[in-house]
Structure 1
Amino acid sequence: MAPENTTDPAASVARFRELLRIPTVSDADDSRTDPAPFDEFHAALARLYPGLHGVLEREVVARHSLLYRWRGTTDGDPLVLVAHIDVVPVVEAEWDHPPFAAELIGAGADAAIHARGAIDDKGSLVAILEAVEQLVAEGFTPVRDVYLAFGHNEETAGDGAQQIVAVLERRGVRPALVLDEGGAVVDGVVPGVAVPTAMVGVAERGVMTLLLTAREAGGHASTPPATPATARLARAIDRLHRHPFPTRIAPPVRALFATIAPYAQPPLRWVFGNLAVTGPLLAKVFPHLGPEMNAMVRTTAVATSLSGAPGENVLATTAQAAVNIRLLTGDTVASVTARVRRVVADPEVEIEVRHASDPSPVSPWKGEAWRRIASAVAEGLSGDIVTTPYIQLGASDSRWFTRISGHVYRFTPFHLTRSERDALHAHNERIRVEVWLRGIGFYRALLRAS
């Protein structure tokens, strides 16, 4: 059993590692998700965080999601901290260390916990729990209600967080601030800017899947037609690749560069500070600076899965491709689908919208909610860090909360290297111990301001 000391860093790390060892893997087919690890996780939380469970009200939503309420001393609009319990599957052979062993590798500042979920998203979830447990032990009570909303199937776009939002909506809860996972503290993401930046998502891109289908009569592969279904499908995919969506600077990206302009090296300081003049050129340059910069200035589309004939010597009667599209703020499912049809330009290729959601509304990067986040960054994380808005490139449970709040933000309070960010949803996911412990400080500061 992990130690119960609420302030000892070693005890906090022990609790974190114990929870990382529970393989709460979600599957897109819910019938294939093993419920036992989720039950084990619930039981472990109650055992490891007795102070929290003694003060906060807890309810289970949608089978395995958790909603906690920490009653404040007033009826002011609450704070909602969002995280998710589930993790993505692993290919164990690709990992240098067992993905659910939570091994502690290295020493000193380099000591890191290697485990699936170390960052996405048990890192945030357990840091939240640690912060609450510490504050409860200190006798702290928030001024306004605090809700902890932990979905169980975020990785599969499941119903956990949606049902939590439905519960809060029925009760008339209108949060003053919702904070979910999102951008991290990073270095060097923007060329010419050396100062660490806390990238707080004020919006996230929409997400949709289009299914492209080409059909033919089929037959033996020894006598193929002039344009088989596979060739027609490949031509459609190639057209999408050769005609990407146009680039543009969306308002949150414009705000990002306005914020960091004073910290950029000349002449980029002038370039970033005068986007009315330089914006069109920057929008064309950014795609050449890497995938992240490309995704900040355009809607992206990529074929992620292909299927054809059941055998090597058989013509495919149906050839299909799933195209994953992430919509930049300002685009819509309808406008994107119409453009794909124009680009593919083949009436014999069927285009079906499988799953789709428009980009989220944009939350303000001024006002009380924003100041609370920026103040928590300054107080809870060490070093000179510039807090800046940006568009979150991936999707999260936060999009469901925009139904009940106009102040929904996405930030993971960990200072991550590029290689650590690249390990998300890949092998060798890990987080440095010192970085994770500082993240607890961020949540403590945010909670104290609630």
Structure 2
Amino acid sequence: MSLEEKHYVLPSPGAAVADPPAASRKITKILLFQWAFLFGCVYLFVTVSSRKVNSSVLGRQVTDTGEIRDHGWSGLEKEGRCPTQVDPLDIGSSWHVMKDNAYAAKAAARLQRAIQIPGVSYDDLPRHVDPLDPVWKEISRFNEFLDLEFPTVTEHLDLEIVNSFARLYTWKGTDPSLKPILLMAHMDVVPVPDATVHRWTHPPFEGKMDKDGWIWGRGSADCKNTLLAILAVAEKLIEEGFEPERTILLSFGFDEEIGGPRGAGPLADLMLKRYGPNGISFLVDEGFTGVDEAYGAKFASLGLAEKGSMNLVLEVDTPGGHSSVPPEHTSIGILSLLITHLEASPFRPKLTAATPYLKYLQCAERFGPDMPTDLKRRIRNPAEWDDLAEEIGEDRTIRAFLGTTQAVDIFSGGIKSNALPEVATAVINYRIDFLSSVNETYVHTQEIVSRIARSLNMTLDISPLVTADSIQSHDHAHVHVDAHFSNGLDDSSILAIEPHSVSSSSYGIRMKVQDGRGLEPAPITPAEGKVFELVAGTTRKVFEPVGISPSGMIANTDTKWDWNLTEHIYRFVPASLELVKNFHTVDERIHIDAHLSTTEWFYKLLQNSQGWRD
């Protein structure tokens, strides 16, 4: 998952959601009795909440205890319902990796050696890949490491090196009419800041395994664990004489942590040319979601959606001069005001029938024996979803699953303590809701910034987005935005500042989306059908959870390059989330049991694909 945000994991609602007090809401009950002798039934209509939404309109009855008597699902609620659960799927042989002590020792040593080859991706790496450039030395070493560790795989599968370091293994199936399966991971890792090295329990690139089975180091969780597990499964199956019916593709990029344009991008182009649009059956890549405990039950959450992203660049340009004769507000002060108002007007969290997290809650409501009764009632009732989103969204981790987020990550301005700052700049990162868009996010920010600009009598220049259809000019143009937001600031809320103007047209406020474009949210993978049954059935077999729930990916992965290849994209950690810790931060680590369960899951997935048809 690219970016330094990967310390997030799917939250446990049991820890994050308090049982809301029943007396906090006004509830109006209207009971209407209809007696039909032909059917011998009694229909009870109940109006719930201050909005007086009749739950019986949804085709079911709600009792005083919150019990649901289901008479069928209507459109709105059916869309948000927990998916139909499938039986465990067990085709072919099994590899009980957790009981294979010899392999466990071998796997641990491999992962330790992999961590010792850093392969760090920095934001300023050259776009053009010259294999002789020293900046790629560690990635080159990691490629050599893979060849040495997995000679059987290199010998038996067709291996193509793409753009110097990306790797595409092709294991040809016996039936070319079947769409291939694509398994993905990446070789690179995020940097470890020098200022944090001393905070690590063990050096970040030592690959230390402690007496309790934890393997420490950058890349242990993200995502050398997955990459080595996939290759180990291929190695094992080759040794067993396995012949796949459908072609299996193993795709490994080397710059995912900075967006993947050098690795996953060219790999996707090659596969699209070879197999055509929607030519892949499904793909599995890294994720945040895995196996977790919630409300007294074990759940496995599959990442079927992925948020979009955009970087907003704000620049304030004002006259310079000596600090002994300052204006009322410098460029830094004005930029600080803009940021203050953006943070005071965030996108509101929301639960809708299409929100991936609602499906997770619906599964928890269905299978979690410890979920409070009143919370069950509220999850079942669409009239409660807006208020429920606000309440559970107070937890910032859950909040990330419920809407667009913003983070002011870079702020710069001024070079001397006695010189007025002429230019101040900020970069604000937005993670765009699964159901929103780059344009909606940009318009939201324009409305807020334009209000401040008007209050200051300053020029606001807004650069347009670059569209997929035509590359628009980036010449600045004065823009007045008339957007309306329920959570926006009105002019009366702007801090009292004396209007002022500047004499040069080069001064003012400028805003743009970095590179002129953002990343749209990914298409949502359906939580039904043959592919879902295969992936969910495999997961039920390996982990024995009571429920399989959809969820989403709040960071970004290399799968963004593969939207044209398949409609079925899964982002998943095949392990207990309690055994995978600290993505992108100090003391990143994984327990050997998590690495072994990941290996077992991929093995069973490929076995289960034999005879399977999508």
- Whether the 8 Å contact between 2:260 and 2:558 is mirrored in structure 1 is no
3-state SS of paired residue (1:103)? coil
Unaligned residue ranges in structure 1 (runs of 5+): none
C-alpha separation in 2, matches of 1:33 and 1:269: 57
What is the identity, as a one-letter code, of the residue corresponding to 2:390? Answer: K
CA drift of 1:134 comes to: 0.9
Map 1:177-216 → 2, pairs under 5 A: 177-187=282-292, 193-216=295-318
Let me know the Cα RMSD of the aligned residues: 1.9
CA drift of 1:361 comes to: 0.7
Cα shift readout 1:354-406 (whole Å, capped 9, x = no counterpart): 0511101111011111112112212233x535321112111111111112111
Flag the 1:7–1:303 CA change in 2: closer, same or farther, 3 A: same
Which residue of the partner structure matches residue 271 of structure 2? 168
C-alpha separation in 2, matches of 1:172 and 1:163: 14
Map 1:90-239 → 2, pairs under 5 A: 90-91=192-193, 92-107=197-212, 111-159=213-261, 160-173=263-276, 174-187=279-292, 193-239=295-341
3-state SS of paired residue (1:442)? helix
Residue in structure 2 matching 1:10, options 95, 98, 105: 105
What is the identity, as a one-letter code, of the residue corresponding to 2:542? Answer: G
Which residue of the partner structure matches residue 278 of structure 1? 384
What is the identity, as a one-letter code, of the residue corresponding to 1:340? Answer: T
Identity of aligned residues (%): 28
Map 1:336-351 → 2, pairs under 5 A: 336-344=441-449, 345=451, 346=453, 347=460, 348-351=508-511
Higher strand content, 1 or 2: 1
What is the identity, as a one-letter code, of the residue corresponding to 1:77? Answer: K
What is the identity, as a one-letter code, of the residue corresponding to 2:575? Answer: F
Flag the 1:6–1:443 CA change in 2: closer, same or farther, 3 A: farther
Map 1:34-433 → 2, pairs under 5 A: 34-75=135-176, 76-91=178-193, 92-107=197-212, 111-159=213-261, 160-173=263-276, 174-187=279-292, 193-250=295-352, 251=354, 252-264=356-368, 265-267=371-373, 270-271=376-377, 273-288=379-394, 290-344=395-449, 345=451, 346=453, 347=460, 348-355=508-515, 356-381=518-543, 383-384=544-545, 386-417=547-578, 420-421=580-581, 423-433=582-592
Moved more, 231-240 or 22-31: 22-31
C-alpha separation in 2, matches of 1:181 and 1:55: 25
- Whether the 8 Å contact between 1:184 and 1:415 is mirrored in structure 2 is no
Cα shift readout 1:403-426 (whole Å, capped 9, x = no counterpart): 2111111111121239x54x1111
- Whether the 8 Å contact between 1:286 and 1:297 is mirrored in structure 2 is no
- Whether the 8 Å contact between 2:291 and 2:574 is mirrored in structure 1 is no
Flag the 1:119–1:272 CA change in 2: closer, same or farther, 3 A: farther
CA drift of 1:130 comes to: 1.2
C-alpha separation in 2, matches of 1:7 and 1:133: 15
Larger-Rg structure? 2
What is the identity, as a one-letter code, of the residue corresponding to 1:442? Answer: W
3-state SS of paired residue (2:573)? strand
- Whether the 8 Å contact between 1:185 and 1:196 is mirrored in structure 2 is no
- Whether the 8 Å contact between 2:300 and 2:548 is mirrored in structure 1 is yes
CA drift of 1:275 comes to: 4.1
- Whether the 8 Å contact between 1:6 and 1:134 is mirrored in structure 2 is no
CA drift of 1:84 comes to: 0.6
C-alpha separation in 2, matches of 1:184 and 1:330: 19
C-alpha separation in 1, matches of 2:209 and 2:378: 41
Flag the 1:361–1:275 CA change in 2: closer, same or farther, 3 A: farther
Flag the 1:40–1:24 CA change in 2: closer, same or farther, 3 A: same
Flag the 1:216–1:161 CA change in 2: closer, same or farther, 3 A: same
Moved more, 433-442 or 278-287: 278-287
3-state SS of paired residue (1:412)? coil
- Whether the 8 Å contact between 2:405 and 2:430 is mirrored in structure 1 is yes
C-alpha separation in 2, matches of 1:187 and 1:412: 11
- Whether the 8 Å contact between 1:6 and 1:130 is mirrored in structure 2 is no
Moved more, 371-380 or 51-60: 371-380
3-state SS of paired residue (2:288)? strand
Flag the 1:260–1:33 CA change in 2: closer, same or farther, 3 A: farther
C-alpha separation in 2, matches of 1:397 and 1:443: 19
What is the identity, as a one-letter code, of the residue corresponding to 1:74? Answer: D
C-alpha separation in 2, matches of 1:373 and 1:115: 30
3-state SS of paired residue (2:514)? strand
1:22 aligns with 2:117: yes
Cα shift readout 1:23-54 (whole Å, capped 9, x = no counterpart): 11111212397211111111111111122112
CA drift of 1:177 comes to: 0.7
What is the identity, as a one-letter code, of the residue corresponding to 1:298? Answer: G
CA drift of 1:196 comes to: 2.8
1:443 aligns with 2:602: yes
Cα shift readout 1:204-227 (whole Å, capped 9, x = no counterpart): 000110001111011122222112
Corresponding residue pairs, total: 436
- Whether the 8 Å contact between 1:84 and 1:154 is mirrored in structure 2 is yes
- Whether the 8 Å contact between 2:216 and 2:587 is mirrored in structure 1 is yes
Flag the 1:267–1:74 CA change in 2: closer, same or farther, 3 A: same
- Whether the 8 Å contact between 1:65 and 1:161 is mirrored in structure 2 is yes
C-alpha separation in 2, matches of 1:62 and 1:132: 24
- Whether the 8 Å contact between 1:212 and 1:352 is mirrored in structure 2 is yes
CA drift of 1:343 comes to: 1.6
CA drift of 1:442 comes to: 0.5
Unaligned residue ranges in structure 2 (runs of 5+): 1-99, 127-132, 454-459, 461-507, 610-614
C-alpha separation in 1, matches of 2:573 and 2:174: 28
Q: TM-score, normalised by structure 1?
A: 0.92
Q: TM-score, normalised by structure 2?
A: 0.68
C-alpha separation in 2, matches of 1:6 and 1:112: 16
3-state SS of paired residue (2:286)? strand
